[in-house]
């Protein structure tokens, strides 16, 4: 199954207070494995950058001013995500910002049925345990050494690894195949011997050539003992 794992960075916590998206990172996965398709843009928020937000992601107003605004990237983003499921951590936050940006451009909001929230998944799987992205990376042994600040593409990559673990690990598909084989093994009627043997495909000439070859051996071949046992 194909899906998109994504993350955003913003100027603040609430689009209703005028905060905007400043970075989008997205990775396509198929059967829990990254396909190599990646989407990453910085976005000019067309406003100032609060110090609190700058401390989180390190994206300055001056840096972002050299990039396209959301109207300039929206079509590329929508083309990338197609109609695939969208996976995010604390998805309500990211989706609320995206929908606010869409509304400014008279674009329809994201369909809620497409959204997969890994925060909700983690809380169901590990009730009472920390469920931040950092905490889940530590739980599953995912390398955090590159993450000195938040970054949308870096966090999307980490989340893809976390999502795979939440789904049972990247060997889940192989495990499902093993289960199927084990179930098949339990169906003895499918694995019993044939009611009658298959007809031989050896020609008379091939059989004669084999007998001539065996007769030339200095010792009787080992398999003759089994043939003799079968005839006794």
CA 30 distance to own-chain centroid: 5
Annotation marks residue 40 as catalytic: no
Measured distance CA(118)–CA(100) in Å, rounded: 22
List 89, 126, 150, 210, catalytic entry: 150
* Alpha-helix runs per DSSP H in 116-222: 118-125, 133-139, 152-166, 172-185, 188-191, 204-215
Cβ burial, residue 216 (10 Å; 0-12/13-18/19+): exposed
Count of C-beta atoms within a 10 Å radius of residue 43 = 26
Q: What angle do CA 143, 145, 148 make, to 5 degrees?
A: 130
- Determine the straight-line distance between the first and last CA of the chain, rounded to whole angstroms: 57
Secondary structure letter of residue 19 according to DSSP: -
Token reading at 103: 């509304």
Active site residues: 150
């Amino acid at each position: 199954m194909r899906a998109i794992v994504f993350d955003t960075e913003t100027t603040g916590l609430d689009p209703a207070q005028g905060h905007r998206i400043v970075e989008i990172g997205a990775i396509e996965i198929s059967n829990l494995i990254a396909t190599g398709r990646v989407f990453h843009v910085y976005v000019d928020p067309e406003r100032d950058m609060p110090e609190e937000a700058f401390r989180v992601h390190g994206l300055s107003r001056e840096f972002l001013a050299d990039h396209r605004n959301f109207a300039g990237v929206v079509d590329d983003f929508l083309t990338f995500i197609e109609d695939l499921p969208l996976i995010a951590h604390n998805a309500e936050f990211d989706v609320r910002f995206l929908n606010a940006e869409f509304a400014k451009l008279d674009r329809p909001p994201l369909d809620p049925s497409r959204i997969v929230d890994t925060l909700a998944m983690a809380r169901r799987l590990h009730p009472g345990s920390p469920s931040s992205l950092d905490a889940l990376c530590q739980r599953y042994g995912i390398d955090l050494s590159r993450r000195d600040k938040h970054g949308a593409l870096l966090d999307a990559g980490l989340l893809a690894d976390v999502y795979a673990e939440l789904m049972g690990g990247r060997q889940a598909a192989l495990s499902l195949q093993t289960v199927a084989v084990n179930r098949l093994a339990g169906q003895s009627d499918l694995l019993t011997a044939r009611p009658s043997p298959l007809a031989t495909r050896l020609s008379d000439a091939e059989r004669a050539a084999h007998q001539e070859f065996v007769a030339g051996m200095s010792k009787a071949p080992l398999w003759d003992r089994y043939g003799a046992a079968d005839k006794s």
